[in-house]
Amino acid sequence: MRLLLLASLAGSVAFAAAEPLALVRPVISQVEEGTAPPAGFFYTPGEALFFTCRVSHVTKGADQKIRVAYSVAAFDQKGVQLNETYKNEFNDEVTSEDKEWMPRIQTQLMIPPLAGSGTYKVVVTAEDEIAKTTARIEVPFDVHGRAVEPSDTVIVRNFHFYRDEEGKQPVESAIYHAGETLWARFDIIGYQFGEGNKIDLSYVASIILPNGKVVWTQPEPAVEQSQSFYPKRYISGEFSINLKAGVQPGSYIIGVQVTDTIGGKTHDSRHPFTVE
């Protein structure tokens, strides 16, 4: 009985002395099989990330196999998950020649197109189903997105006039001439989300005289109705107006009325321009 007890204690001590399961050598890169970027590097919205790491100190079962389940997920600076969690497992036979081998976790992650700036993270968890041990790591990475000031209610931000559809820089002075085409771009933010991050927005552009008289209104509203795993932080809108040859010189106002159907709110935004 004493010998059996000693043998049992010895077995317990040997098991406890084994090194714990660990996730090591994490790498986030821009290309598959790539290396980690230098310090200060940042990713951009819409970009793909390639993530790898190794699993060390995995226990081998009596059948010479390992059984490790793992998951990989990415989160933004506020802790909101970017994509669906990637799950997989290792169920491989390991021979004596493979004693230095460590299973490799490898997957691809997408940064949402409208993601904001901040320090994001990849979170990896693993479970050794034989030893009943777990491991977890968080690997940070930086993202630089467009600056759109948040709002508690639906609002138009970053409204700018342009000379043409492909214009990169907004005009310094919103001065146009009869026969030209006025282009405008802006962001909508502060709307409410429905189930599944559903959004239901529409906007209508108008031309208004300084006295408040509406002289032209967009025939049909532009509509944005969509759902996504990651909530769309803002929506970009644009429109063009052909200033016909007979338009009278003077001061005008572009009015943009935005309707947030889910939030039950509307917002009117006005922006002056001149025809010479």
Instruction: Write the CA distances from 38 to 3, 35, 76, 142, 264, integer angstroms.
Output: 58, 9, 20, 12, 47
Could you give the CA distance from residue 256 to residue 265 in angstroms, rounded to a whole number?
14
SS (H, E, C) 199-261: EEEEEEEEEECCCCCEEEECCCCEEEEECCCCCCCCEEEEEEEECCCCCCCEEEEEEEEEEEC
pLDDT of residue 18: 64
What is the CATH number assigned to the segment(s) 13-143? Answer: 2.60.40.3880
- What is the number of alpha carbons within 13 Å of residue 76 lying toward its C-beta? 24
Nearest CA to 76 out of 120, 38, 115 is that of 120
pLDDT tens per residue across span 117-159: 999 999 999 999 999 999 999 999 999 999 999 999 999 999 9
Parallel, antiparallel or unpaired: strands 175-176 and 265-275:
parallel
Mean pLDDT for 23-32 is: 96
What is the average pLDDT across 205-228? 96
Q: What is the pLDDT of residue 8?
A: 41
Choice between 79 and 98, residue whose per-residue pLDDT is larger? 79
Tokens of 152: 């508690």
188 pLDDT more than 60: yes
Place of tokens 């063009």: 240
Strands (E) located in 3-147: 22-29, 48-56, 65-75, 86-93, 104-110, 118-128, 133-143
* Residue in 17, 103, 7 with CA at minimum distance from that of residue 60: 103
Q: Which CATH number fits domain 155-275: 2.60.40.3880, 3.30.465.10, 3.30.70.20, 3.40.605.10?
A: 2.60.40.3880
- Using 50, 70 and 90 to split pLDDT, how confident is the model at 178? very high
Q: How confident is the model at residue 14 (pLDDT cuts 50, 70, 90)?
A: very low
Percent of the chain at pLDDT > 90 equals 84
Say what the pTM is. 0.84
Q: Are 81 and 148 in contact (CB under 8 A)?
A: no
Reference 95, options 69, 66, 127; nearest CA is 66
CATH 2.60.40.3880 intervals, the chain: 13-143, 155-275
Percent of the chain at pLDDT > 70 equals: 93
pLDDT digits (tens, 9 = 90+) for 229-253: 999 999 999 999 999 888 999 999 9
State mean pLDDT over 183-210: 97
Residues ≥6 apart with Cβ < 8 Å to 26 = 51, 52, 53, 122, 124, 137, 139
